[in-house]
Amino acid sequence: MKRFIIPTLLASLTLGLTQNSSRCRCLYGQKCWPSSSEFSSLESQLSQPLIYPIPTASGCYPLSSPSGNCSDIQTNWFNGSWRADHPGSMDMTNYESFIFKNGSISACYFNTSLDTPCEQGNIPVIGVDARSVGDVQTAVKFASSHNLRMVIKNTGHDYGGRSAARNAFMLWTHHLNNITYNSTFVPAGAPQSETYDAITLGAGVLWKDAYSAAAANGRLMIGGISGGGDVGAAGGWLQGGGHSAFAPLHGLGVDNVVEFNLVTASGEFVTANAYRHSDLFWALRGGGGGTWGVVTSVTYKTHPIFSVTAVFFNATSNSTNTMKKLFTEFVRIHPSLSDSNIGGYATAANTSLFFFYTLPNSTDAAANASFSSFFEVAHNLTNEGLNIEMQYTTTYDTFEQWYKALFSGASGGGGSIVELASRLLPTALFAKDKYEDFADKLFDVVGAGLVWNLVAGGAVSRVDPDSTGLNPAWRHSLVEAVWGHAGWPEGATYGEIERARARLSATMAKVSSIMPGAGSYFNEGSIFEPTPQQTYFGSHYRKLKQIKKKYDPTGLFIVAAGVGSEDWGDDLNCRRF
């Protein structure tokens, strides 16, 4: 086995040597860890050599003679697509670090002036670069037979840090990137008369490539929207629910998937759809990524191409009272927007409000009419100090044109320290007799900064809540609200990190008091939710847990706040009982 260039703390070498192997996963540094010859045997069964992931900044160390191309790292540090090509790189750099119980931290910092050693942190030490279903099966069987802590990673675009774990074994799916278009796709086991105009995507395909493939075939897909298009199209985005600016028109990702192919914990390759393994198909649609098996490919139905009219607006004010009035009107109009299949994204704070919303198959004139009452209020508020810095509409002939104009040139949002919390805002709170009180309270709690995603309502609300494993709260909500904290500087102490997390938790509690029992989006929520089973999965949790036990009885696939995670300790390495 290769010698790791990153020093590993003595504590990790002795951790758990006396732990009961039937209760705990085997970690690197423990006596149970596979030998070099066992890893060599594994490698001989794979199509590619084993990989040895290292933290993103490791090439800049040691300072006296960097081991890699440090200038390349510095240039691309915030480039999500670049990060996706490196197995040891996480989009959110806080998940590359590991905090020990005594408060010490193992990390490899981008800021080399901190004069700290580069350590492995939370990055798995070894893994498989899967290029085929056979590679995945071999890796899963190896991890299962050796009782290893295993993580599944594609891009690392992961707000919950679920694709990394200290001293673990990684299965990297990034190169499973085949794309196949079939205008008459028939799901396995379905009658030949049941056909879909569909695209099958390998587990490593990014949305930017999926969109291009769909457009090349004269079709459109409902998928993730991000700068650079570096979100994976067949993994955690979909399994957590998968929202989109066009979800009000065509539903969430889980409403558009036709079939999954995956390797289960036993190493079996199965197809899950409405006809085969239908219970697993139900769970995969909203039950959370990294939980049910290793998805190797996904088949989505596609849609006809349509034009997109985009509405852009930005206003600022030094008056909190003025911004609150504008925000209240913004909240008021959302039921009508959703009814018109309008979706998109906004940010709100006590000094600003920005949004860009999309109208499919529309025109500039129709878009302006949809927002006319809001624009009228905004212009009236200029007498109270509101500055309207942007207000315009533009129509793109196709989704692809809209997407490339706004997102394809961006580099993504990686390289930062980010932890989030979110709530699905119930439709009932937007009622005529409730929206003012609701807007007022929400503005007061998260006025420092709120991401406002209009990605529900419309078609999302018309789906039977029990038809998929997704949290039913999605079907009764209009908006996903997301907020976070400013993170912490690299090199922050454990105490500083805990204080930042405490502030986020306090805000989460206040928001929960405004909307008791509201759900949260698994992919963009806090891993420190006090009741994750209810918040992320709602009334579906019991059934999800039963399906989990059926397909993964030993808990090989366990992720933070995921189904079955409550049976494991905080580090997810040992069972609680």
pLDDT range class, residue 223, cuts 50, 70, 90: very high
Tell me which residue has tokens 């930062």.
Answer: 416
pLDDT for residue 411: 63
Q: Please, which residues bridge with residue 271 across strands?
A: 261
In terms of pLDDT, which residue wins out, 14 or 455? Answer: 455
pLDDT attached to residue 486: 63
Residue 568 phi/psi, 5-degree rounding, is -120, 160
Residue 372 half-sphere exposure toward CB, CA atoms < 13 A: 7
Mean pLDDT along residues 169-188: 98
What pLDDT digit, counting tens, does each position of 52-81 carry?
999 999 999 999 899 999 999 999 999 999
Instruction: Give the 3-state DSSP-derived string for 429-461, with helices as H, strands as E and coil as C.
Output: HHCCCCHHHHHHHHHHHHCCCEEEEECCCHHHH
Predicted pLDDT of residue 16: 41
Average of per-residue pLDDT across 164-173: 98
Are 300 and 211 in contact by the 8 Å Cβ rule? The answer is no
Handedness of CA 88, 90, 94, 99 (dihedral sign): negative
Identify residue 528 by its one-letter amino acid code: F
The pLDDT value given to residue 6 = 41
> Does the structure show a pLDDT above 80 at 2?
no
pLDDT of residue 11: 37
DSSP state of 404: I
Does the model's pTM come out above 0.75? yes
Torsion angle in degrees (nearest 10) through CA of 482, 485, 487, 493 = -130
The answer on pLDDT for 484 being more than 90 is no
Tell me if 322 sits within 8 A of 370, measured CB to CB: no
From 294, 239, 186, 248, select the one nearest 475 (Cα to Cα). Answer: 248
Name the DSSP letter for residue 319.
Answer: -
DSSP character at residue 4:
P
In the predicted model, is pLDDT for residue 390 greater than 90?
yes
What tokens does 403 get? 């997407």
In this predicted structure, what is the pLDDT of residue 447? Answer: 79
Closest CA to 402 of 302, 310, 312: 310
Banded model confidence at residue 22, pLDDT cuts 50, 70, 90: low
CA distances from 392 to 51, 321, 363, 451 (A): 49, 25, 12, 21
Tell me the pLDDT tens digit for each residue of 498-530.
Answer: 999 999 999 999 999 999 999 999 999 999 999
Average model confidence (pLDDT) for the chain? 93
Segments of 109-210 assigned E as strands: 126-129, 150-153, 169-172, 179-185, 196-202
Specify whether the backbone of 457 is left (phi greater than 0), alpha (psi in -120 to 50) or beta: left
pLDDT, tens digit, 9 for 90 and up, residues 320-377: 999 999 999 999 999 999 999 999 999 999 999 999 999 999 999 999 999 999 999 9
Which residues are registered as beta bridge partners of 179? 201
pLDDT of residue 7: 40
